[in-house]
Chain A
Amino acid sequence: MGAEAGHSLRPATATPRTPVRTRGRNPLLAQWQVLSALVRRESESRHGRRFNFGFALGMLEPLIIIGAICLLFWLINHPPIYGSSMVLFVATGVFPVYLFIHTAGKVHEPLQSAHLGRYTLELPIDNVVAHATLHALSSAAVAIAFFCILYFIGERQASPYEPGRALAALLMIYALGVGMGLFNAVLGRVLPIWGLAWPALSRASVHFSAIYYVVDSLPPRIRGWFALNPILHAVNWFRTAFYPFYPTLTLNPGYLGWCVLATLTVGLCLERRFRPLLQSGA
């Protein structure tokens, strides 16, 4: 036997100490072990590469968009569209919209066939939860940092006067993103063209979500159509937490809530229904 000095060939716990045999039996504990281990592992990688804190890198995109829009309006010498700061106005639009786009993308990622390798204890849905959790944490960190910096360089309105409402709006748009991501993952497998169309569609939706205009200043005829877009409601809701007199003709949190409930339900049902297909790697 080629036993190396100092290493017994008996596996670590071949004689299980008492806790080992009972550990992991509790389903809640087992679930927690899987999820916490996944979050830990995924925080060390991004898109299949090893990269510590890489999950925060995606946050550059909204910052670049904010910068680009502000630069454009500054170049054409346009006064702030609402309130006293162009940056704050654009940021209050871009952050919720990108929270939606990126959350949907993050949830989609672990359900793609390239990421299907897994152990017997983890289900694809566990990977979804882990990715979504990490994304929520990194988004929150970046948003808080961004608005704090804005506040400390003198833009006092960057501190929401109703933080609870700001949080509620972000949570809703986040949940909408999770539901949409699940929905996309299944639809993308059944209908591959959707996987190509969605990123383009979602980025086009940026322009219909009132990032750089106030939707209530549009003619009522068009506004009715814009009001169908749930992301727009989230943006308006988020803005009312910063601007006490922000026009709220096109704001119905109830409508947003129903949209969230519908996408989450449909997304979860589709995931369950098509789980064998999602796991098959086809």
Chain B
Amino acid sequence: MIVLDRVDKHYGSGAEACTVFQGLSLHLPSDRRLAVLGAAGCGKSTFIRLLAGLEEPSTGSIERHARVSFPVGYGRGLKYHLSARQNLAYAARIYGADVDEVVGFVEGIVGLGDAFDAPLRGLGGQQLASVRFAMAYAIPFDTYLFDNFIAAGTAEFREKCIAMFEARAAECGIIMAVRDLRTARRFCDAALVLDNGGGTLFDTLDEGIRFLAARERRLTLPDAA
């Protein structure tokens, strides 16, 4: 369970102030496959960053009664002068995971060979992406956060990512910001629709999608009456 209590989030001040969330209070399930839906620019990514703790709410509080991951694929914690092995060991340590297990798993899955022990700054984009994604899947959390992407890298590695996703989703919760509904249908079974600084939870994905569609219809085709 993740409890949001009257969360406000705004950026800037004065004339440039921009409010993303206002009085957002929710009890989010931490053990479902929850899709975070909403129109472009409604704050899906900000919402994931708030849940992850990468940003603090302007007011209000977020209580996590589960071990919540960083967004899968997040790479700003990496130190590029250190090797993949050192970075993974560090991440495993701070999240209280078994270092050998995490490092061994990622080493096997990314297939970097000797580059695994070279500084990250020498790695290519695909290789870095595979380290970032494999790292997130390798560390045990109760709830995994996603910001639009569940896979990256080569086609072969993307398949591995989906397999890792399914392995995790079988045991743990998923909260995923999704732009496109096909992805949501494939991977999620419940929905949170963000709209106008607030949010509505739906027990099934279809209800959420219908609600979203109704909202959008009302916006694009205002009632003649």
Interface residues of A (CB under 8 A from B): 1-4, 6-7, 9-16, 20-21, 23-25, 29-30, 33-34, 36-38, 40-41, 44-45, 48-50, 116-122, 275-276, 279
Contact = CB atoms under 8 A, between A and B. Distances in A.
Contact of A14 (B52, B74, B91, B171): B171
A122 B69 CA distance: 13
Interface residues of B, number: 46
A45 B94 contact: no
Given A14-B168, A24-B67, A118 B138 contact: no
A122 to B, nearest CB: 6
Contact of B94 (A20, A34, A275, A279): A34
B106 to A, nearest CB: 9
Nearest to A34: B94
A21 B143 CA distance: 11
B213 interface: no
Interface string B59-74: 0000000011110001
A15 B102 CA distance: 13
A44 B68 CA distance: 28
Nearest to A116: B76
Contacts of B74: 119
B77 interface: yes
B104 interface: yes
Interface string B169-198: 011000000000000000000000000000
B94 A12 contact: no
Interface stretch (B34-42, B157-165, B202-210): B157-165
Interface string B80-108: 01100010001101111110011011001
Nearest to A13: B140
Contacts of B53: 120-121
Given A2-B160, A24-B95, A10 B167 contact: yes
A48 B70 CA distance: 23
B109 interface: yes
B9 to A, nearest CB: 11
B223 interface: no
A interface SS class: loop
Nearest to A7: B108
Q: Which 5 A-B pairs have the closest CB atoms?
A: A37-B93, A24-B96, A7-B108, A119-B77, A9-B163
A275 B56 CA distance: 10
Contact of A118 (B77, B102, B163, B168): B77
A37 B94 CA distance: 6
Contacts of A279: 55-56
Interface of B: 52-56, 67-70, 74, 76-79, 81-82, 86, 90-91, 93-98, 101-102, 104-105, 108-109, 111, 119, 137-138, 140, 142, 156, 159-160, 163-164, 167-168, 170-171
B140 A12 contact: yes
A13 B141 CA distance: 9
A14 B81 CA distance: 30
A15 B156 contact: no
A30 B156 CA distance: 36
A4 B111 contact: yes
A40 B119 contact: no
A117 B96 contact: no
A12 B96 contact: no
B168 A20 contact: no
B140 A44 contact: no
B98 A12 contact: yes
Given A13-B97, A24-B95, A37 B67 contact: no
Given A12-B104, A13-B98, A34-B94, A45 B81 contact: yes
Given A14-B167, A48-B81, 18 more contacts: A1-B163, A2-B159, A6-B108, A7-B105, A7-B108, A10-B164, A12-B98, A12-B105, A12-B140, A13-B140, A16-B171, A20-B98, A25-B67, A34-B94, A118-B77, A119-B74, A120-B53, A121-B53
